[in-house]
Amino acid sequence: MAAIAVEPEELRSHEFDLRQGRLDFAQLSGLVGAYEISPQCVVVETGEGREIRITARRDLSTGKYVSEYERRGSLTSNGSTYQVWAQTPAYQACTADDLEACLEAAVLEVNRVHVY
């Protein structure tokens, strides 16, 4: 799957303000919630009930940030159920020159793709 390269000006119409901790959910109809875990990681909840953890990792060979996606799921073993995060190929990786642009593009990617 090819990565989506994002230019910062492509994101302006979506009213993102991750530095202030705000997203305009009117522009993100596929999402019902979002939580910052760290400056490089957010968890979004989709309308389909999925929890997706997005991490923006810096590729030191290029200096660009690349998104990575994990889905939260349950694993049962010996009668005990555990919540686990596992990588998901459902979303295309996004690359950007800065951390915020990468996370913004990745949130848009999760909003765009509906997995049932």
Please check whether residue 114 is in contact with residue 28, taking contact to mean a CB–CB distance below 8 angstroms. no
Q: What is the per-residue DSSP string for 32-90?
A: EEEEEEETTEEEEEETTS-EEEEEEEE-TTT--EEEEEEEEEEEEETTEEEEEEEE-SS
Task: Give mean pLDDT, residues 12-35.
Answer: 70
71 vs 115, residue with greater confidence: 71
Average pLDDT taken over every residue of the chain: 86
Domain boundaries, the chain: 4-112
* 56-82 pLDDT tens trace: 999 999 999 999 999 999 999 999 999
Radius of gyration of the chain (CA): 14
Answer whether residue 11 shows pLDDT above 50. Answer: no
Geometric angle at alpha carbon 101, from 4 and 104, rounded to 5°: 80
DSSP state of 17: E
Give the lowest-confidence range in 22-26, 45-49, 72-76, 107-111: 22-26
Say whether pLDDT at 101 is over 80.
Answer: yes
Given this model, what pLDDT does residue 12 score? 46
Predicted TM-score (pTM) of the model is 0.81
